């Protein structure tokens, strides 16, 4: 132990003082014992602190918000659909927007104080890319107090992104194997890595491609946990750069900063410097690059970072393969010449997985990256990203109009950036009609049921024309008991109690020509134009006007065959005709036409009318002389008219004919309201599902004039081609040009390209094609002004009461229907169809 007797020669202490002499002093051992006690206390404190921090941070992890972020695949700025070919500069600009997000997080003041020191900081934000169930998704997780701040930053840079708070995902295979690894810098944090500005392509592609290879039954994830770094992280980088610029090599600078060098400066006796100029060191090009990289990294906002990768599969080898592939993708960020590399740390796989689950920030695994480096590791996928299975935003969302009404008919709600805004339409705007289009399954019928339920509850009058029958059944079950007496159910399939509907009834003598014209239009709608022709139109018009000559007791379309073939019956009706043109038809044309030509002309006409007259169900409806339904009274008294035209029960042609008749009669009833003051006209709402089957070209007149008579239309169908038979766009243009409010569900690409003009620049064809289920892109009339397009979700489907529906059905059929036997007897007596042979067309 001779070293105890070696003089220390420490400046300020007695000369030749040795360690053995110091140990003989009582104060020495007091200091030693005190130091040991302090060390023991520090060890205990470190253990208590570590346990407390882990317990506390685990509790914090369960309170974190998890946000799923999706962005649209198409490039909005160019207004184009699909992936985009972009230059490298455009790609870098697109990636660069994420720098602002990380810079904003790095600009937060780091949490300090006793709580943060003991229990750890809570201001971490975790950015994650996860392969789960065959999709590659982008998540962000943070404490609730940071949620609004982070969401605002994301929306500021990605205005069309959808951010949805979701339950935490689970990418781990049940009873499978999990592998994990954390990544650390090979060198000090002030050494930079290669960023997107120095790479030839989007670096995210390598990471997402590795994740995309994960099987649908397996899972994997990349986690980048960040928090704002203390500003002192820049000092070493700037100090080293400054020293190198003064003529020192990196090795010299680091040697001068070493602990041994600092110790020598403090305790070693100073030596006189040798005379002569110092040796000058010239920086090499690599040294210049190193200095520049230090300065560039320190010039941007820095964040403390943990990076973890986990993979899960049924087999251990498969999980390890996934992990190795993802870790290998981080090799692209390496800058070996004068920068840093991301390498696996020595942290155990179990520890990595646990920290991944709880999103812990581990100080020992921490490193500092600036915002540019982090944007290279994590940013939203670009339109040019071709990685398969990325979870893209199917369609954009738009904010609600600022002047959206807060009262009126409730359409649904807008969910935009976490704020839910109810959508209402005022009664005055609704009077300019509503138009809805969307593929089958878009929820159009349920939407009508919901709107109708509100009208019924509000005591308004309405009519629903349903070509399937299910919608009427739903609405029947929503009628409150106090309005059961207002329901008028027209169901042609109820053959035991048919409801009469005379097609040849006219509300006034002035309307006879209108009724006849509409009936001709109906036949043109039901049959191809080449099968009708001018002679059919001419003859049919005069026959109908003849049967309408007695307005109090009009004939029916079922009597046309008898009118043609029974001379005595002709005399009975021609005696009532007062119109000279119609009289001329009978006296100059029919009277001078030979029997052969009559058979040739009228046989063709009868074959068209006979299609309905020969059908027992239809004959019992259109053959009744007095209609059971007074459409004017239904409108004025706010009745609920439900028309169930189930094509599966009564056939397409029959359903279309009855629907066309009802729409025509409602139009006539509405126009008949001209005889009453405008303020006394109760609003009446007409809902027509699959409306292309029940309208004629006069729809333009209805849409433009019905508002004056307080008739509001809601028109719904599936695709635009239904409105353009054989390329005739008259009906389509009339609907699109007159409907005040348009609601577009998911449509086909051709319709989307056509309707895109109505919704640009807010929505493109891509958005219309990919609209979410039960979501409508809407352009609504607000105070008679067209609003900026937005999208909304309708209310959930209503649940009808089947018992109430059946009770109301029985009540209505007893009130408005008639016994089948009585109806058939009356029709047989008037038409004598059983005793008069129907002329057949001549043989060719």
Average pLDDT over residues 339-347: 92
pLDDT bracket for residue 644 (50, 70, 90)? very high
Residue 715's pLDDT is what? 94
d(Cα 378, Cα 98) in Å, to the nearest integer?
8
Q: Where a domain ends, among 377, 401, 431?
A: 377
Q: To the nearest whole percent, how much of the chain has pLDDT over 70? A: 89
Q: Report the CATH number that the domain containing residue 116 is assigned in CATH.
A: 3.40.462
Residue 268's pLDDT is what? 47
- Same-domain pairing of 139 and 220: yes
Strand-pairing partners, residue 789, are none
pLDDT at 498 over 80: yes
Q: Do residues 667 and 713 lie in contact, with contact meaning Cβ atoms separated by under 8 Å?
A: no
Which residues does 765 contact at the CB level (< 8 Å), separation at least 6?
81, 749, 752, 753, 755, 756
pLDDT at 838 over 60: no
d(Cα 547, Cα 585) in Å, to the nearest integer?
14
Judged by average pLDDT, the poorest of 34-48, 191-205, 284-298, 666-680 is 34-48
Per residue in 699-714, pLDDT (tens digit) is 777 888 888 899 999 9
Which of residues 226 and 540 earns the better pLDDT score?
226
Residue 708's pLDDT is what? 87
Residue with tokens 């729409």: 663
pLDDT at 31 over 80: no
Burial (CB count <10 Å: 0-12, 13-18, 19+), residue 272: exposed
- Same-domain pairing of 187 and 41: no
pLDDT at 32 over 60: yes
d(Cα 133, Cα 60) in Å, to the nearest integer?
27
Judged by average pLDDT, the poorest of 79-93, 738-752, 802-816 is 79-93
Residue 180's pLDDT is what? 95
pLDDT bracket for residue 286 (50, 70, 90)? confident
Residue 475's pLDDT is what? 93
Residue with tokens 């500021």: 156
- Dihedral of CA 282/285/291/292: which sign? positive
pLDDT at 612 over 80: no
pLDDT bracket for residue 476 (50, 70, 90)? very high
Strand-pairing partners, residue 225, are 126, 306
What b-and-e string marks burial along 20-51, b requiring 16 or more CB atoms within 10 Å of the CB? eeeeeeeeeeeeeeeeeeeeeeeeeeeeeeee
- Same-domain pairing of 25 and 143: no
pLDDT at 84 over 80: no
Burial (CB count <10 Å: 0-12, 13-18, 19+), residue 788: middle
d(Cα 645, Cα 417) in Å, to the nearest integer?
42
Maximum average pLDDT range among 243-247, 348-352, 731-735: 348-352
- Same-domain pairing of 17 and 141: no
Residue 120's pLDDT is what? 80
Residue 385's pLDDT is what? 86
Residue 113's pLDDT is what? 79
pLDDT at 597 over 70: no
Examine residue 722 and state whether it is found in any structural domain, yes or no. no
CA nearest neighbour of 333 among 292, 375, 366, 287 = 375
Average pLDDT over residues 491-520: 87
Examine residue 661 and state whether it is found in any structural domain, yes or no. no
d(Cα 498, Cα 504) in Å, to the nearest integer?
18
d(Cα 363, Cα 306) in Å, to the nearest integer?
9
Average pLDDT over residues 421-431: 93
Examine residue 299 and state whether it is found in any structural domain, yes or no. yes
pLDDT at 327 over 60: yes
pLDDT at 14 over 70: no
Residue 77's pLDDT is what? 40
Average pLDDT over residues 568-597: 83
Examine residue 788 and state whether it is found in any structural domain, yes or no. no
What b-and-e string marks burial along 370-380, b requiring 16 or more CB atoms within 10 Å of the CB? bbbbbbbbbbb
d(Cα 652, Cα 690) in Å, to the nearest integer?
12
CA nearest neighbour of 789 among 428, 423, 445 = 423
Can you tell me whether residue 421 is helix, strand or coil? strand
Q: How far is CA 130 from CA 361, 388, 525, in A?
A: 19, 14, 56
- Same-domain pairing of 125 and 31: no
Residue 373's pLDDT is what? 95
pLDDT bracket for residue 729 (50, 70, 90)? confident
Pairing of strands 162-166, 65-70: antiparallel
pLDDT bracket for residue 435 (50, 70, 90)? very high
- Same-domain pairing of 10 and 87: no
**DSSP result, 744-790:** E-S--HHHHHHHHHHHTTT--HHHHHTPPTT-EEEE-EETTEEPPPE
d(Cα 566, Cα 570) in Å, to the nearest integer?
6
Task: Give the chain's domain count.
Answer: 2
Q: How far is CA 515 from CA 525, 544, 555, 730, in A?
A: 15, 9, 13, 21
Q: Where a domain ends, among 327, 356, 377?
A: 377
Judged by average pLDDT, the poorest of 321-330, 640-649, 726-735 is 726-735
d(Cα 154, Cα 160) in Å, to the nearest integer?
10
Residue 611's pLDDT is what? 74
- Same-domain pairing of 197 and 330: yes
Residue 598's pLDDT is what? 64
The domain containing residue 99 runs over which residues?
64-234+294-377
pLDDT at 81 over 50: no
Radius of gyration for the alpha carbons in the chain, expressed in angstroms and rounded: 42
pLDDT at 272 over 50: no
Which of residues 46 and 295 earns the better pLDDT score?
295
Average pLDDT over residues 454-462: 94
Q: How far is CA 592 from CA 154, 543, 587, in A?
A: 85, 17, 8
pLDDT bracket for residue 730 (50, 70, 90)? confident
- Same-domain pairing of 174 and 298: yes
Residue 743's pLDDT is what? 94
- Same-domain pairing of 8 and 84: no
Token pair listed for 633 = 């009274």
Which of residues 2 and 177 earns the better pLDDT score?
177
pLDDT at 815 over 60: yes
Residue with tokens 């109301």: 808
Residue 843's pLDDT is what? 43
Residue 246's pLDDT is what? 82
CA nearest neighbour of 256 among 239, 280, 234 = 239
Per residue in 306-323, pLDDT (tens digit) is 999 999 999 999 999 999
Average pLDDT over residues 160-165: 89
Which of residues 682 and 41 earns the better pLDDT score?
682
pLDDT at 208 over 90: yes
pLDDT at 43 over 90: no
Q: Where a domain ends, among 377, 401, 433?
A: 377
**CA within 13 Å, CB half, 201:** 9
d(Cα 470, Cα 502) in Å, to the nearest integer?
26
Examine residue 36 and state whether it is found in any structural domain, yes or no. yes
Examine residue 111 and state whether it is found in any structural domain, yes or no. yes
pLDDT at 263 over 70: no
pLDDT at 339 over 90: no
Examine residue 466 and state whether it is found in any structural domain, yes or no. no
- Same-domain pairing of 40 and 82: no
Apex CA 624: angle with CA 621 and CA 625, to 5°? 145
Residue 315's pLDDT is what? 93
Residue 2's pLDDT is what? 63
**DSSP result, 500-558:** P--TT--SSGGGHHHHHHHHHHHHHHHS-GGGTHHHHHHHHHHHHHHHTSSSSS---GG
Mean pLDDT rounded to a whole number for the chain? 85
pLDDT at 692 over 90: no
- Same-domain pairing of 22 and 92: no
Examine residue 808 and state whether it is found in any structural domain, yes or no. no
pLDDT bracket for residue 127 (50, 70, 90)? very high
Residue 252's pLDDT is what? 81
- Same-domain pairing of 79 and 195: yes
Residue with tokens 């920068």: 339
Which of residues 274 and 157 earns the better pLDDT score?
157
């Amino acid at each position: 132990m001779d070293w105890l007797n070696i003089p220390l020669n420490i400046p300020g202490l007695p000369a030749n003082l040795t360690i053995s002499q110091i140990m003989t002093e009582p104060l020495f051992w007091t200091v030693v014992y005190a130091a040991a006690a302090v060390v023991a206390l520090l060890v205990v404190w470190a253990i208590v602190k570590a346990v407390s921090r882990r317990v506390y941070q685990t509790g914090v992890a369960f309170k974190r918000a998890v946000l799923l972020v999706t962005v649209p695949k198409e490039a909005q700025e160019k207004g184009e659909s699909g992936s985009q070919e972009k230059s490298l500069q455009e790609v870098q600009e697109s990636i660069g927007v994420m720098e602002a997000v990380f810079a904003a997080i790095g600009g937060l003041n780091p949490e300090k104080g006793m709580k943060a020191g003991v229990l750890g900081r809570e201001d971490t934000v975790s950015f994650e890319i996860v392969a789960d169930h065959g999709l590659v998704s982008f998540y962000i997780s943070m404490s609730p107090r940071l949620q609004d701040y982070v969401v605002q930053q994301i929306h500021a840079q990605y205005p069309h992104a959808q951010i949805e708070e979701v339950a935490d995902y689970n990418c781990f295979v049940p009873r499978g194997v999990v592998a994990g690894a954390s990544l650390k810098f090979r060198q000090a944090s002030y050494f930079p890595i290669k960023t997107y500005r120095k790479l030839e392509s989007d670096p995210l592609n390598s990471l997402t491609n590795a994740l995309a290879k994960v099987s649908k039954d397996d899972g994997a994830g990349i986690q980048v946990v960040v928090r704002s770094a203390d500003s002192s992280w820049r000092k070493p980088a700037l100090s080293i750069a400054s020293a190198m610029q003064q003529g020192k090599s990196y090795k010299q600078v680091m040697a001068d900063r070493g602990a041994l060098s600092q110790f020598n400066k403090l305790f070693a006796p100073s030596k006189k410097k040798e005379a002569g100029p110092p040796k000058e060191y010239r920086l090499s090009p690599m040294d210049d690059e190193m200095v520049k990289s230090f300065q560039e990294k320190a010039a941007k906002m820095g964040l403390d970072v943990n990076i973890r990768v986990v993979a899960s599969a049924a087999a251990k080898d498969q999980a390890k393969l996934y992990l190795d592939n993802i870790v290998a993708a981080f090799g692209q960020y390496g800058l070996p010449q004068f920068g840093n590399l991301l390498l696996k740390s020595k942290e155990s796989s179990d520890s990595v997985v646990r920290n991944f689950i709880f999103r812990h920030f581990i100080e020992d695994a921490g490193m500092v990256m600036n915002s540019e480096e982090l944007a290279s590791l994590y940013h939203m996928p670009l339109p040019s990203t071709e990685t398969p299975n990325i979870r893209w935003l199917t369609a954009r969302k738009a904010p609600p109009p600022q002047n959206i009404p807060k009262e009126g008919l409730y359409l649904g709600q807008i969910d935009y950036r976490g704020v839910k805004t109810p959508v209402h339409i005022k009664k005055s705007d609704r009077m300019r009609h509503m138009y809805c289009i969307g593929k089958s399954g878009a929820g159009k019928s349920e939407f009508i049921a919901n709107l109708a339920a509100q009208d019924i509850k509000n005591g308004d009058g309405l009519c629903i024309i349903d070509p399937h029958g299910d919608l009427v059944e739903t609405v029947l079950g929503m009628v409150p008991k106090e309005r059961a007496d207002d329901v008028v159910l027209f169901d042609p399939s109820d053959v035991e109690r048919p409801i009469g509907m005379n097609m040849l009834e006219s509300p006034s003598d002035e309307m006879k020509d209108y009724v006849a014209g509409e009936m001709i239009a109906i036949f043109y709608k039901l049959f191809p134009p080449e099968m009708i022709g001018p002679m059919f139109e001419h003859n049919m018009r005069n026959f109908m006007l003849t049967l309408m000559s007695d307005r109090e007791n009009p004939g029916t379309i079922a009597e046309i065959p008898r009118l043609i073939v029974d001379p005595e019956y002709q005399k009975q009706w021609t005696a009532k005709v007062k119109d000279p043109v119609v009289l001329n038809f009978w006296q100059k044309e029919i009277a001078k036409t030979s029997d052969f030509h009559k058979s040739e002309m009228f046989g063709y006409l009868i074959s068209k009318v006979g299609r309905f007259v020969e059908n027992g169900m239809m004959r019992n409806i259109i053959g009744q002389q007095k209609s059971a339904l007074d459409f004017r009274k239904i409108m004025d008294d706010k009745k609920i008219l439900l028309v169930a035209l189930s094509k599966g029960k009564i056939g397409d042609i029959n359903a279309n004919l009855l629907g066309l008749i009802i729409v025509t009669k409602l139009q006539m009833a509405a126009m008949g309201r001209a005889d009453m003051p405008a303020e006394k006209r109760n609003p009446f709402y007409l809902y027509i599902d699959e409306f292309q089957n029940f309208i004629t070209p006069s729809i333009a007149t209805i849409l433009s004039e019905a508002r004056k008579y307080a008739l509001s239309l809601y028109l719904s169908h599936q695709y635009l081609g239904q409105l353009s038979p054989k390329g005739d766009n008259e009906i389509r243009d009339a609907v699109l040009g007159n409907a005040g409010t348009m609601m577009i569900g998911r449509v086909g690409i051709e319709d989307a390209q056509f309707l895109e003009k109505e919704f640009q620049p807010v929505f493109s064809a891509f958005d219309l094609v990919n609209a979410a289920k039960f979501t409508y892109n809407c352009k609504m009339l607000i105070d008679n002004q067209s609003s900026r397009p937005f999208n909304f979700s309708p209310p959930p489907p209503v649940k009808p009461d089947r018992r109430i529906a059946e009770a109301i059905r029985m009540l209505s059929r007893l009130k408005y229907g008639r016994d089948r036997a009585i109806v058939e007897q009356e029709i047989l007596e008037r038409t004598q169809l059983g005793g008069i042979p129907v002329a057949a067309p001549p043989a060719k």
